[in-house]
């Protein structure tokens, strides 16, 4: 019986953590479909959060590479007064970057739903 109570408490904590993070993410970033993303990203700061090798293999035309691993040091390169359009391979890194930028005072933060793996628009690569 004690084991079941412990498991229930652990599950409750995990569920609460997931719900709180989901709520924080919804307040920090607006998810956009590819069509919505295309309509606005040319008037915004388009940031690819993937690592340089991923970026060089192919990225959205006009994107600037600021890897998530460098975001804490480089976030000041991104202007807080302009919209920020983020994307990564899926959406994990862009979600974490959005939360970090929101804490730093950025308000117009958008992310590509599904990430680069779902992108069917124009792509530029070094190859």
Residues marked active site are found at 88
Helix ranges restricted to H, the chain: 2-28, 34-41, 52-57, 71-74, 92-103
**What is the maximal distance between C-alpha atoms in the chain?**
61
| Integer Cα distance of 41 and 45 in angstroms | 7
């Amino acid at each position: 019986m004690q084991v079941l109570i412990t498991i229930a408490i652990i599950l409750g904590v995990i569920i609460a953590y997931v719900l709180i993070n989901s709520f924080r993410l919804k307040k920090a970033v607006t998810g956009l479909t590819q069509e919505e993303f295309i309509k606005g990203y040319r008037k915004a700061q388009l940031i690819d959060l993937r690592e340089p090798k991923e970026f060089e293999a192919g990225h959205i035309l006009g994107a600037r590479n600021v890897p998530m691993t460098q975001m804490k040091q480089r976030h000041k390169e991104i202007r807080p007064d302009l919209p920020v359009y983020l994307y990564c391979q899926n959406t994990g890194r862009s979600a974490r970057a959005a939360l970090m930028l929101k804490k730093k005072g950025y308000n117009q933060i958008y992310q590509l739903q599904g990430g680069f793996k779902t992108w069917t628009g124009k792509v530029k690569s070094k190859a």
